[in-house]
Amino acid sequence: MDKPVKPDLQFAKEIIKAGGESLKKCYQCSTCTVVCQLSPDKAPFPRKEMLYAQWGMKEKLFNNPDIWLCHHCGDCTAYCPRGAKPGEVLGAVRKLMIQHYSPPKFLAKWVADPKYLLLLFLFPLLLFLGELAILGYFSGTEIPRGEGGVMAYSAFLPAVPWIDVPFMAIAAFAVICFYLGVKKYWLDLTAGVELKRKDIYNCIYETIKDILLHKKFQFCTSNKGRYSAHMLVLYAFIGLAITTGIAAFYEWVLHWPSPYPQTNIVKIIGNTSGIALLIGMFLVIVNRAKNSAQQGIGSYFDWFLITVIFGVGITGFMAQILRLAEVETLGYASYIVHLVFVFVLFAYAPHSKMAHMVYRATAMVFSKAAMREENIKKEEAA
Interface with ligand SF4 by CB under 6 A: which residues?
26-32, 36, 38-39, 45-47, 50, 70-76, 80, 82, 84, 86-87, 90
Exposed/middle/buried for residue 235 (C-beta within 10 Å: 0-12, 13-18, 19+): middle
Residue 40: phi, psi to the nearest 5? -70, 145
Nearer to ligand SF4, 73 or 234 (CB): 73
Minimum distance from CB of 9 to ligand SF4 (Å)?
19
Rounded to a whole number of angstroms, the distance between the first and last alpha carbons of the chain is: 40
Nearer to ligand SF4, 12 or 70 (CB): 70
Minimum distance from CB of 319 to ligand SF4 (Å)?
38
Cis peptide before 46 (omega within 30 of 0): yes
Nearer to ligand SF4, 51 or 180 (CB): 51
Helix (H, G, I), strand (E, B) or coil at 143: coil
Minimum distance from CB of 98 to ligand SF4 (Å)?
17
**Alpha-helical segments (H) within 143-199:** 153-156, 164-190
Minimum distance from CB of 17 to ligand SF4 (Å)?
19
Minimum distance from CB of 375 to ligand SF4 (Å)?
15
Residue type (1 letter), 67: I
Nearer to ligand SF4, 90 or 232 (CB): 90
Nearer to ligand SF4, 222 or 272 (CB): 222
Cis peptide before 104 (omega within 30 of 0): yes
Minimum distance from CB of 222 to ligand SF4 (Å)?
8
Query: Which residues lie below 8 Å from residue 82, measured CB to CB, with a gap of 6+?
Result: 25, 26, 27, 29
Residue type (1 letter), 183: K
Give CA 332 to chain center in angstroms.
Answer: 28
Nearer to ligand SF4, 216 or 351 (CB): 216
342 to 195, 314, 381: CA distances (angstroms): 39, 11, 43
Minimum distance from CB of 275 to ligand SF4 (Å)?
29
Q: How far apart are CA 319 and CA 209, in angstroms?
A: 35
Minimum distance from CB of 308 to ligand SF4 (Å)?
24
Nearer to ligand SF4, 87 or 124 (CB): 87
Q: How far apart are CA 370 and CA 193, in angstroms?
A: 8
Nearer to ligand SF4, 76 or 283 (CB): 76
DSSP state at residue 142: P
